[in-house]
Structure 1
Amino acid sequence: MAVQVEIWTDINCPFCYLGKRRFEEALAGFPHRDAVEVVHRSFELDPTLDHGHSDAVIPHIAGKYGISEAQAAANERGIAAQAEAMGLDYRVEGRDFGSSFDMHRLLHFALAQGKQEALLDALYAANFADARPLFGDTERLVQVAADAGFDAAEVRAVLADPEAYADAVRADEAEAGRLGARGVPFFVIDRKYGVSGAQQPETFAQALERAWADHAPELEVLGEADTCGPDGCAVPQRD
């Protein structure tokens, strides 16, 4: 018996970074965690970006939401405080954003090798914990993957072929639309329960318990007679 958890995320999304850690905290405390299968799915926050696009995060946030760069930086510091409270590094200054399509293709490549989690963690760390630009730099992406244990030549070959795993990325994104996901992170448990956003671990724990209960429903007792238990056996009554 297994519970499947599918998580739609984007490397650009800071709340995906936080949500992954909160979900992991809930999973660590789940008594049936060894029976939980986790699969990460693709979602681009801006699929219209050119694959080589890279720009600074804070001016981008300011322009997107119509706020000042000072306000955008303050918002980033607020997210950084949340991250640090969970033991995650989060750089406010110097980070960039851009097209994540190639990263999602690599995540499907990693999934095929059974090492998706390792690459996702490496990409999050490269984006949020390292101030060096990440997007639009093929060689940096190759290095991130190589440092996570992947063969650099194989990674470079995937990136050089624009159609490698592209259909898998598009299929994930189409499925997110069918499931009603308007943002990420978006967690889907057994295709029955959805959890939207970087919820607290308690919410994820409740969702896991509910899904597990569906697999192991409460036993319905159809009849009762004399039994033996820890305190002894029922004493037969004389007529």
Structure 2
Amino acid sequence: MRVEIWSDIACPWCYVGKARFEKGLEAFAHRSDVEVVHRSFELDPGRAKGDVVPVVELLAEKYGRTREQAQAMEETVAGNAHAEGLGYRVEGRDNGSTFDIHRVLHLAKAHGVQSELLDLAYRANFAEETSVFDDEVLVGLAVRAGLDEAETRAVLADPAAYAEEVRADEREAAELGANGVPFFVLDRRYGISGGQPAEVFTQALEQAWKDRAPLTTLASADSADGATCDVDGNCA
């Protein structure tokens, strides 16, 4: 079974939701048969590279709140993150364009270390005193995840590298009706929106597994054109 997760590094509920999903997956009896694929989604696709602002100021402006109210919003998310055993800095975090981060995440996917880089990027953005919107920081995270430094720098230097992969993920999210993240799709049959409790994910995985359609054989090997070869190399 495949689970696809649309998320954005700038989204705190994606950070919390990933941890909750993983706890839900751990409680699922068939977890070893689940393939998890991470997809790109930008919360602010129009933001220019280099346009980096403090998160609290951004929240206050975006939602028409006072700085104190925006700070309280961050405290609420921090409480949820801490409940999942995650670090979360309420003060001093930045927000900026995540397009380059998504491009490097696709590079990481091509090398089989996407999940590792995603975890490092989340931790850097929400729990550590650093900014993932700095290219040097991003390169450092990529190298820690197992990517080649020169290849990572080459991707960052070429705006077209993995750009179509990011846009394709975003188009697909729109086609599926996802207008916010995190958004989880189970076997292209069920969608779950938001960072739900772990038990909700477990229940959804169980339901999706139960409802998997059995294979319908349209023609058998008994027919004239139905010759097959088995796993031992025997052909008939």
TM-score by length of 1: 0.87
- Partner of 1:150, secondary structure, is coil
Aligned-pair CA distance for 1:60: 0.3
How far has the Cα of 1:149 moved from its partner? Answer: 2.2
Q: Which residue of 1 aligns with 2:109?
A: 111
SS in 2 for 1:215: coil
Q: Which consecutive unaligned segments of at least 5 residues does structure 1 have?
A: 218-239
Letter matched to residue 183 of structure 1: G
- What is the count of residue pairs matched by the alignment? 214
Would the aligned equivalents of 1:93 and 1:131 in 2 still touch at CA under 8 Å?
A: no
Task: Quote the offset at 1:188 in angstroms.
Answer: 0.4
- Report the AA paired with residue 198 of structure 1: G
Which residue, out of 22, 25, 41, partners 2:23? 25
Instruction: Judge conservation of contact 1:186–1:196 (CA < 8 Å) in 2.
Output: yes
Q: 1:129-178: per-residue Cα shift (whole Å, max 9, x none)? A: 1132221x211110111122222111111111111110000000000000
1:151 corresponds to 2:156: no
* Alpha-carbon distance in structure 2 between the residues aligned to 1:167 and 1:148: 23
Displacement after TM superposition at 1:216 (Å): 6.8
Matched, 1:160 2:157: yes
For the residue of structure 1 that corresponds to 2:132, the secondary structure is coil
Q: TM-score, normalised by structure 2?
A: 0.88
Matched residue SS, 2:211: helix
Distance 2:46 2:116 in 1: 27
What pairs up with 1:1-239 in 2 under 5 angstroms? Answer: 3-135=1-133, 137-215=134-212
Q: Point out 4+ residue stretches in structure 1 off by more than 3 angstroms.
A: none
- The answer to whether the 8 Å contact 1:49/1:98 transfers is yes
Aligned AA (2:160): E
CA deviation digits over 1:91-131, x for unaligned, max 9? 01111001000011111111111111001001101100113
Structure 2 gaps of 5+ residues are 215-236
The amino acid across from 2:96 in the alignment is G
CA contact 2:41–2:181 (8 Å) conserved in 1? yes
Task: Point out the structure with max Rg over C-alpha.
Answer: 1
- CA distance in structure 1 between the partners assigned to 2:49 and 2:173 by the alignment: 21
Aligned-residue identity in percent: 60
Q: CA deviation at 1:61?
A: 0.3
